[in-house]
Amino acid sequence: MIQNTKVEITLRDNEKGTYLQIPVLPEKINYKDGQKKSLSVDIVNLGTVKFPSGVELDSISWASFFPARYDEAYVQTPQLKAPVDYRNQLSTWKDNGTSLQLVCPAAGLNKTVFLESFDWDFGGWEGDIVYQVTFSEYKTVKPQQITMGKPTVPPKGKKPPNSRPPAPAKPKPSTYTVVAGDSLSKIAKKLDVADWHDIYTRNKEAIGPNPAKIKPGQVLKV
């Protein structure tokens, strides 16, 4: 047996937890199911191929009015507010992009939405407000946390693949001019020569039998 469900539309503010019941039901609720989106790609010798790439947002819209006086023939709630109070509430939700829960059990609706558009007119001698609303599906995107891996440390003695090559060593001079206070051992230290005897061996004829007797101005082969 099919049970009759009372037709009513309720909006819940998901941020504050407050409720608002639509006082006068619209003649119809227009539900637009979001179309399937596709990505078109042109492939040589095949033509245009479409690939599915998500769905557009669903939308719900209707037109009705906020009555200035209670009439049980068409007003759903006895706790009727002033038309401007309904208008101000919907306008605030629209401007703030508030997350709302739109519930209409008779239509099987219980959907998270936001108020995308709200148009109204002040009409009638009693002060009714005629309005139109459009709600769009409210979706949230949750950021995913990505754990970065530890940097790879190359083994000792091995250079990382993106390391720069070492700067070329400066060429050593082929000769050295003796200055006052020099000795072969001092000259070897200046020129990074391991043993001063190497310098003496190369320049024995110019220095003579005594390696300690070098003179300022002498040009030695290194």
Give the pLDDT confidence score for residue 104 in this predicted structure.
93
- Residue 145 has a pLDDT of 75
> CA dihedral defined by 35, 36, 37, 40, rounded to 10 degrees?
-120
Q: In the predicted model, what is the mean pLDDT of the chain?
A: 86
Q: Is the pTM of this model over 0.75?
A: no
| DSSP helix/strand/coil, 120 | strand
**How many angstroms separate the CA atoms of 179 and 44, rounded?**
80
- Confirm if 95 and 117 have CB atoms less than 8 A apart: no
What CATH number was assigned to the domain covering residues 175-221? 3.10.350.10
Tokens of 57: 């947002």
Average pLDDT over residues 53-76: 91
What is the CATH code for 10-137? 2.40.30
CATH 3.10.350.10 segments of the chain: 175-221
Note the pLDDT of residue 2. Answer: 46
What are 117-159's pLDDT values in tens digits? 999 998 767 889 999 999 999 988 777 777 776 766 666 666 6
Amino acid code (one letter) for 11: L
pLDDT on residue 120: 94
pLDDT at residue 48 is higher than 90: no
Residue 1: the pLDDT is: 45
63: nearest Cα among 131, 114, 162, 154: 131
Q: Are 126 and 83 in contact (CB under 8 A)?
A: no
pLDDT at 34: 86
- The pLDDT of residue 151: 67
Integer-rounded Cα radius of gyration of the chain: 45
pLDDT recorded at residue 4: 59
Q: Which of 32-36, 66-70, 99-103 has the lowest mean pLDDT?
A: 32-36
Q: Each residue of 158-217: pLDDT tens digit?
A: 665 666 767 776 677 788 888 888 888 888 888 888 888 888 888 888 888 888 888 888
Q: Which helix (H) or strand (E) holds 94?
A: helix 83-96
Task: Look up residue 26 and give its two tokens.
Answer: 């619209």
Beta-strand ranges (E) seen in the chain are: 10-13, 19-21, 30-32, 36-43, 47-55, 59-66, 100-104, 109-123, 128-137, 175-177, 219-221
Is the pLDDT at 97 greater than 90, yes or no? yes
Strand partners, 161: none
Q: Which residues fall within 8 angstroms of residue 172, CB to CB, at 6 or more apart?
A: 191, 192, 222
The boundaries of every CATH 2.40.30 domain in the chain are 10-137
Query: Residue 114: which of 137, 131, 92, 130 has the closest Cα?
Result: 137
Q: pLDDT confidence of 40, banded at 50, 70, 90?
A: confident
What pLDDT band is residue 219 in, cutting at 50, 70 and 90?
Answer: confident
